[in-house]
Amino acid sequence: MSQTINILFLAAEAEPFVKVGGLGDVAGTLPRALRALSNDEIKLDVRLVLPHHMAIRSNAFRPVGIYSIPRGKEELQVQLSEGSLEGMPVYFINGDPIRASGSVYSSNTALDAEKYTFFSLAALELPRQINWAPNIIHVNDWHTALAAYGNLVRRWGEKARQVSSLVTIHNLPFLGPNVSDILEKYGLPLANTDLPEWARVMPMPLGLWASDAIVAVSPTYAMEILHEEFGSGLQDFFRTRTGSLRGILNGLDTVSFNPQTDPTLAANFSAETLDLRPRNKAALQERLGLPVESEVPLLGMVSRMDQAKGIDIALKGLKIMAKQNWQLVLLAAGDPKLEALAKKLQEQLPNRVRVETRYDAKLARQIYAGSDLFLMPSRYEPCGISQMIAMRYGSVPLVRAVGGLHDTVTDSETGFVFVDKTVKSFNDTLRRALQLYPDRERWLRLQKAGMAQDFSWTRSARQYLDLYKKLISETATLRTNDGIRLHES
């Protein structure tokens, strides 16, 4: 007899419906990878739930119905519609708090606090409306974390059938705004938790505290958040939850990111036809007005202009190493000060540096396929996806040993790794890479070893499935609700 596991998967964004950052890639791909694991022995019925942002436009969605959730003395209407993604049901929740925000993420914290509280609680009510019972509620980051908290409160209040919850941490420093007053309006009591006092009113800490399992998006990141530098003030709490904390590396959409079929490339290639790859380097140099020199190492960066990404470390290091033979292509936008620093390096080295401060998915792929060395000197990187794409496209990564970069790149085997977040440490490693570059045989081994890595979502999905099974098999023990208290105004 086969087993069915029902998973309610909540996220603020998901490709192809709406994408702002890396979460959109994960939420658009992982649920499908999970469903693909279904076989004769087990069926995974995964249903994705998203806010119906204004940016999401489709005539193919089917209205499912209207229901309401209480907010103070009023009832707020929830409009529910359904779409599909490769046969997977995708539900879209709308209502006044979602319409009040014109973007996926607002700079107005009050708008986002209300929007995502409404969404999380409306999503908890959704299964009753479609007569479908989840075994697992899988939430992602602070925007949906209150669904895990609401799930626990429901278990307390109703002595309900155990529905397990799982929180995946993609970016811990974003804990969400103070929601104490909003929770009170929605009738959700605040619990006496063992969280730091300042964190007891924030969505992400509340969701983490209430969850049955916590997943960080790489094994190293799961270890890092136990310490002050990466714990965002919650490191002591995480140390009490090590039994339910684990790291599962994000995957890569290997169908989309495939150098053998990618239509944006000047020449498609594989690990067996790497002799075709230099055409992409030449095309990239020509497109950006760099001298077309095959023997000069071309360094690539596709990133955000953000201190966390270590852009300044690379720029300062490269300025010091101006006498070395290299070219640089940098595609990134964000912090104006970092953009100015990058543009200054381009002005100083006009025949060697190209800086593009915009979002350009096509150019990004051409950089992965055309660069010789891909730079990721991150100060902080929970998982990272660019190093995986770079390796798949034959660009050798140079990374800092942090988070998912540490888990995916092995020094002198698939890339180059430095430890200290200093310009000196970066430069020492870059010199090592540039010295090796002329040795074509050894460089080819690095490329092929990187291209042979398995970064597919199938591997990650299997680890999530093992965790789902563990949660379901554990004896359901409802936590006491003696500690519940309402927020005191």
**Residue spans of the chain under pLDDT 70:** 1, 159-161, 475-489
Which residue in 196, 181, 186, 238 sits closest to 215, CA to CA? 238
Strands 373-376 and 396-400: parallel
What is the reported pLDDT for 160?
58
What is the reported pLDDT for 482?
41
Q: Are 202 and 196 in contact (CB under 8 A)?
A: no
d(CA 201, CA 275): 57
What is the reported pLDDT for 476?
46
d(CA 56, CA 328): 36
Collect all residues with Cβ–Cβ distance below 8 Å to 31 and sequence separation of at least 6.
7, 9, 14, 46, 47, 48, 85, 88
3-251+459-485: CATH topology is Rossmann fold (3.40.50)
The helix/strand/coil state of 71 is strand
271-454: CATH topology is Rossmann fold (3.40.50)
What is the reported pLDDT for 484?
47
What is the reported pLDDT for 159?
64
d(CA 147, CA 138): 9
Which residue in 44, 78, 79, 74 sits closest to 61, CA to CA? 79
DSSP annotation string for 118-162: HHHHHHHHHHHHTT---SEEEEEHHHHHHHHHHHHHHHHHH-PPP
Which residue in 232, 212, 226, 240 sits closest to 469, CA to CA? 212
What is the reported pLDDT for 162?
82
The helix/strand/coil state of 482 is coil
What are the b/e assignments for 128-145, b being 16+ CB within 10 Å? Answer: eeeeeebbbbbbbbbbbb
Q: Is 219 exposed, middle or buried (0-12, 13-18, 19+ CB in 10 A)?
A: middle
What is the reported pLDDT for 483?
45
Q: Are 117 and 146 in contact (CB under 8 A)?
A: yes
Q: Are 434 and 276 in contact (CB under 8 A)?
A: no
d(CA 345, CA 361): 23
Which residue in 30, 201, 16 sits closest to 117, CA to CA? 201
d(CA 181, CA 97): 15
Q: What is the DSSP letter of 411?
A: B
What are the b/e assignments for 423-432, b being 16+ CB within 10 Å? Answer: bebbbebbee
Q: Which residue is listed with tokens 């209407």?
A: 77
Cis peptide before 51 (omega within 30 of 0): no
Domain(s) of CATH 3.40.50.2000: residues in the chain: 3-251+459-485, 271-454
Query: What is the per-residue pLDDT across 3-33, written as a single tens digit (0 to 9) for each?
Result: 999 999 999 999 999 998 889 999 999 999 9
What are the b/e assignments for 156-195, b being 16+ CB within 10 Å? Answer: beeeeeebbbbbbbbbbeebbbbbbebbbbbebebbebeb
What is the reported pLDDT for 445?
98
Query: What is the per-residue pLDDT across 119-166, written as a single tens digit (0 to 9) for each?
Result: 999 999 999 999 999 999 999 999 999 999 999 998 887 765 689 999
